[in-house]
Every structure is written in structure tokens, then in C-alpha cells.
Amino acid sequence: MAFEITKELLENVAIYIQNGNDNELNKLFKEMHHADIAEVLEDISFEEAVYIIKLLDSETTSDILIELDEAVREKIFEQLTAKEIAEEIDKLDTDDAADIIAELSEERQEAVMAQIEDEEHVKKIEELLSYDENSAGGLMAKELVQVNENWNVLKCVKEMRIQAEEVKHVHSIYVVNDAGQLKGRLSLKDLLVASTRTHISEIYIPKVDFVHVNESAEDVANVMRKYDLEAIPVVDDNDALVGRITIDDIVDVIKEEAEKDYQLAAGISQDVEADDSILDLTKARLPWLILALFGGFISVSILGGFSDAMTTHYQLFFFTPLIAAMAGNVGVQSSAIIVQGLANDSLKGSLWKRLIKEVLQSLINGFVLALILMSIGMLFLKFSFELGITVAISLVTVIIIASIIGTFIPIILDKRGIDPALATGPFITTSNDILGILIYFSIAKLILGF
């Protein structure tokens, strides 16, 4: 059932547009899901995409627009009047509407908002725009079904029918009191089996998960995932029900968070994809490489400072990439484990316990590796014992220190409100490279005395 864009499809679209065959285009796109149409629009020329957006009815195009890549959507909006954009916004749920409005310039925002006819809709969008986009308020939609605890099932069903008209997916029916405070929920299943004259206060479930409007998107995701929720109501400081968040938005949050962490660990500084332009890709990659280059300069200087060893113990220099690589690898391992623990909110115990654990682990890893190094090095690569023991001791020391740094930098960043994932990748590898080389040559100097 997977949709695939075929060459034939794209050719047909191009021909229909060339011939102004609007009927065929309408027919073609009517059969397609808006997410698929969005994919097609990203694959054809920009002029063709604008032609199709202008052709299709705003019910469909509004759904298409939210699926488009932000960059493409921005370009298309440049071709539309404030009134045309307002028509699209009008058709969207408040959360999607607010997301799109937020992308416009302030000037354009005002112009578009002035053109939206439904004042209620405008007010709701303005409220949503006031929240941080990475908070529950920034994720939630105002569309939800809520009933008063004092109603009976008959009145409730009647009201629900009206409210359900503007809610795409009804997950739960939220129960509020006269002050609008969240009291509980009615499950659809319960409603299906209840008799019409029952009072809501008798059948509602008072236990309901909810989040506060200022809670972070990541925390909301953790709560919804843990309790397997498909929607969660959002309350304000007065416990008043102000919106609800659905799982499809959370799926995107989880995906984006994970991709961001992954990209940071890989040394890519902004959200890029393989098919972005060379310029975008370069902008995302070059800064980290420049950082690594400057790290490289430092290691060049350190090695230069130990150049005396060149004459007496030149073999030491053969091991610098090995020591640097081990330091980098160990650091990335440690920091990745901590970053995931922080993201899943699963780190327990004191910092001291963590320090001891990390050192013990590094000792085990270090001794196994040192043993392999000594035996292979002396048996096959003909190291002198002096050289072997120097490299081995350095290796163990470097592994311990690299793992401590890898563990604590993310924890410190997180405590200071900085994304701990920044600590993984090039940052950790570069600083551990430098430190590893410095430790290695310092130990060598101590043992071999050059």
C-alpha cells in the first residue's frame, strides 16, 4: 500500500500543468493523501507547485501546506497574498495554524491575522503563539471535546456532536466543572455503553493524566510514552483546561529529539537531510570541522613541545593516533550513555556513585586493552618492554580520564540548562584527543625521562 512517486506520475503532472488541464489535475490529486501530495510538490518545480496550490481547494491545500518542508512552504507563501494565506490558516487546527503563522515575519503575521474571518480562531491562535514552541503550550491544540460534570449523557452527546464537528480525532471527552477546571475524563467506550439519562458526574473517571502548559515538550513526550497515552489534556496555573496534545505531534517530537541528538553526536550542527543543498550541508558540517581543526593545532603544539623525544624515543610518536582514538572513543561512549539517560530521565543515584562506577568500568576496559596491547605489541610488533609498559600505563590513564570527562561534561551542561547532546561527538573527541596526547607524553617523559 506504500505510496511511491513514479516518473510517470511526475510526467503526467507536468503535462497537465503545461496544457492547463485542471480537470485531470483535480482528479489525480483527489485520490491522493495530502502527505503524498506534499511529497509530489517537493519533487516538481517551484512554479508547478505554486500552480497546484492555487488550483486545489483550500481544504486540501491547507493540509498539504503543513506537510511541506518549512523552506518550501516559506517560498510558496511568498507567492500568496495575505488573504490567500488567511484562507489556508482558517481551515487548519489551531496548533498547525499557530505553527505556520509563527514562521511568517511579524509584519506578515499581522496582515494574515487581520484577514482571518473567524475571530474565535484568531484569539485561539494568538493564545497558542504566546507559548514557547518547545513547551506543552506550543504543542497543544485548542480543539477538544469537553463536557460539564453537571450535564447528563443526553445533553453531553448533543454538545459533543457540535464540538466533534471541529475536532478531527476525538480521543477522550474531558470533564470540567463550572469554573472550567479539569475534573476527569469520559472514555468513548464508557459512553458507548452508558444509558442516556445518566449524569456525567456519576460516570466520569476522576483519574486523568494531564500536563501543565509550561512543561517541556520532552517531558510531555516522556509522560505520554510511559503511560501509553494517545492524547493528554493541558491545564494552566488555575487547573483550567486550556488545550490538548495528541500523540501524532509527540511522535514528531520524539523523532526530532532523537535525530537532533544523533546529528550532534555525529558533528552536524543543524537539522539537515541528505537531499538538502550543498550549501546547507556545508553550513551544518563546516563549523564542527573547524573546531576539530583548532583542536588539531593544539595537539600539533603539544607534540612539538615534546620534540626532544624525537631523537631518543621516536617510536612514541607512532602511538599518538592510537592513544587519541582510544580517548575519543571512550569519551563518546561515556557521554552517549549519559545523554540517553538524561533524555529518558532514567539517571539515578549520586554523582559520586556514578564516578566510582565509571572509574571501575574504565579500569576493566583499560586493563583488558593494555594486556592486549602489551602482548601483541611485544610478541608481534617487537616493542621494547619499556615502550610497551609506557604505552600501556598511558592507555589505562587516558581511558579513565576520558570516561570521566565524557560522563561529567553532559551532566554539567544539563545542570546549566544547555543541551547535553552538544557534549557528544566532535566536542568530546577533540578535547579528549588533546588531553589524551598530553597525558600520554607526560607519562612517557616521567617513565622514560627525555
Window 291 to 350, contacts with a copy of itself (CB under 8 A)? 292-293, 295-297, 299-301, 303-304, 307, 310, 314-315, 317-326, 328-330, 332-333, 335-338, 340-341, 344, 346-349
Per CB under 8 A, 379 contacts a copy of itself: no
Of 106, 275, 416, 417, the one binding a copy of itself (CB under 8 A) is 275
Map the footprint of a copy of itself across residues 9-28, applying CB under 8 A. Answer: none
Among 11, 54, 169, 412, binds a copy of itself (CB under 8 A): 169
| Contacting residues for 293 by C-beta, under 8 A, at least 6 apart | none
# of chain residues touching a copy of itself (CB under 8 A): 117
Applying CB under 8 A, among 92, 213, 268, 422 the residue interacting with a copy of itself is: 268
Which lies closer to a copy of itself via its Cβ, residue 105 or residue 195?
195
Which of 35, 71, 205, 412 is in the footprint of a copy of itself by CB under 8 A? 35
Map the footprint of a copy of itself across residues 410-439, applying CB under 8 A.
424-426, 429-430, 433, 437
Least spacing, CB of residue 61 vs a copy of itself, in Å: 17
User: Site for a copy of itself (CB under 8 A): which residue of 137, 267, 388, 420?
Assistant: 267
Only one of the segments 12-20, 53-61, 87-95, 219-227 lies at the binding site for a copy of itself (rule: CB under 8 A); that segment is 219-227
Least distance in Å: CB of 1 to a copy of itself? Answer: 6
For the bound state, the minimum distance from the C-beta of residue 321 to a copy of itself, rounded and expressed in Å, comes to: 4
Q: Closest separation between CB of residue 209 and a copy of itself, Å?
A: 7
Cβ neighbour number for residue 223 with a 10 Å cutoff = 19
